[in-house]
A and B are shown apart, each in its own frame.
Chain A
């Protein structure tokens, strides 16, 4: 059983990717042993009509993969009626997970509106994914250079919302060690391995954070799916820790919602 918590549907705006249509995406996930994939949409990064993005995401998840894909809603609190988008994600689509791109959407985490969003997410029982980056900053399009999300304000906010459930995605490469430990200690913040680097990355990060908050994420199809899968082999984890990262932790997080 493998749950991949970091998958994207639709198209990356700056290049075509292998497997960027849903039929191919699902086939690749399946043949690679992924049994469940939390699928957001690249469209959520730049599109303004997020209501239609979320509808398409749901439709793709229904049409392809026989339940393999779990839809993740895109929310941008800088847009009008974002609260209604959240409500629709929950009520119309039955979504349990939303994904945020604070840097592409133009707000910092100390913006009060993010605190408000977090409060609503707790009320509506959402897991909130925060994507810290989408691409190595050194290779961004010259007209579209976007800094990584600064997570400094997050610890305090999470303490104000003790029932919040946050999953940092695309964060492990830029996140500083002390920040990682500080956020891990809150107990409300989880992480995934797609951008985790260095030899034996997974076993090494588990010296810093408890295994219960580390999840399997690939950032497929932007990254080769094999990258995250091989990382689980490069580290000596044992069955208990492997199972927790591969699926147990994600299942528990989702079941609580």
Chain B
């Protein structure tokens, strides 16, 4: 009934929400049951709970510890990015050392505490790039109004033009994807994450047309979202089978290969 591509699926965007469980170990185990049902092979987790939009360094360290703990039993399937707050640049740089240079995490997640057009973010980008870490920046374009410190795809385009050699991920494609796709189009170092929005038909078709399949990354934003609604964006898109393979896993794998190799992580 559903044509499920026979592809390796790597999920860029996972959280520990949407399931019960007091400990992160309990939660990740439950999430993996759903991942198994949906044939999702690898999952990238970032941030712990409860949510904190502007965490102080103690708080983002605590959340990163949750992620590191979650990975301990799932090293064959799960990866983690460090949650940082560019309002605390020094502490964020130290956290990159702790979690990526000297720890198991392989990228960073920047959320809504500071707009990524700000030059203060640059040091964090440079340091992560030196370590070959993956850089995920949340973006949204809400007609109802963004938070003042929430980045838009245009903000990410500015960041991208200051770091033309550094791969960057435009999280959510700005939510309003018809605008988000065009906002980052002329920055070939920017890929889009398609997770965390409604499965509106035409999204992935437009992205393939305007960016090429190589710049599109499947991710779900579980557990607030389902795997289903987000996989459907790729499974249901009217695009070639080869493009689906790239989007579902190959692109993220390629992007993560340098850091996984340098850390000696099997994949």
Contact = CB atoms under 8 A, between A and B. Distances in A.
Interface stretch (A11-19, A71-79, A209-217): A11-19
A227 B176 contact: no
A222 B229 CA distance: 13
Contacts of B236: 224-227
A49 interface: no
Contact of B237 (A195, A201, A222, A224): A224
Contacts of B205: 18
B143 A231 contact: no
Contact of B235 (A137, A200, A228, A230): A230
- Interface of A (DSSP majority class): loop
Interface in A191-226: 195-201, 220-226
A198 B225 contact: yes
Nearest to A20: B201
Contacts of B140: 138
Interface stretch (A52-60, A107-115, A139-147): A139-147
A145 B144 contact: yes
A234 interface: yes
B232 A227 contact: yes
Contacts of B231: 226, 230
A199 B235 contact: no
Contact of B232 (A19, A33, A137, A226): A226
Interface string B234-258: 0111100000000000000000000
B265 interface: no
Interface string A108-151: 00000000000000000000000000011111111001000000
Nearest to B206: A15
A193 to B, nearest CB: 10
Interface string B127-148: 0000000000000111110000
A195 to B, nearest CB: 8
B-side binding surface: helix, strand, loop or mixed?
loop
Contacts of A19: 201
B200 A222 contact: yes
A95 interface: no
A220 B2 CA distance: 14
A257 interface: no
A233 interface: yes
Contact of A18 (B31, B34, B227, B238): B238
Interface in A222-251: 222-231, 233-234, 236
B2 A229 contact: yes
Nearest to B20: A204
Contacts of A200: 18-19, 34, 226
Nearest to A225: B236
Contacts of B222: 198-199
B144 A199 contact: no
A234 B31 CA distance: 11
B241 to A, nearest CB: 15
A32 interface: yes
B94 interface: no
Contacts of A15: 178, 202
Contacts of B238: 18
B1 A229 contact: yes
Interface string B197-214: 111111001000000000
A136 B1 contact: no
22 contacts: A15-B178, A17-B201, A17-B202, A33-B1, A137-B144, A138-B144, A139-B175, A197-B225, A197-B226, A198-B18, A198-B224, A198-B226, A199-B223, A200-B226, A221-B201, A222-B201, A224-B200, A224-B233, A224-B237, A227-B236, A229-B1, A230-B38
Given A18-B238, A137-B144, A234-B226, 9 more contacts: A32-B2, A199-B225, A199-B226, A220-B201, A222-B201, A224-B199, A224-B237, A230-B229, A234-B34
Interface of A: 15-19, 32-33, 135-142, 145, 195-201, 220-231, 233-234, 236
Q: Which 3 A-B pairs have the closest CB atoms?
A: A224-B236, A230-B228, A227-B232
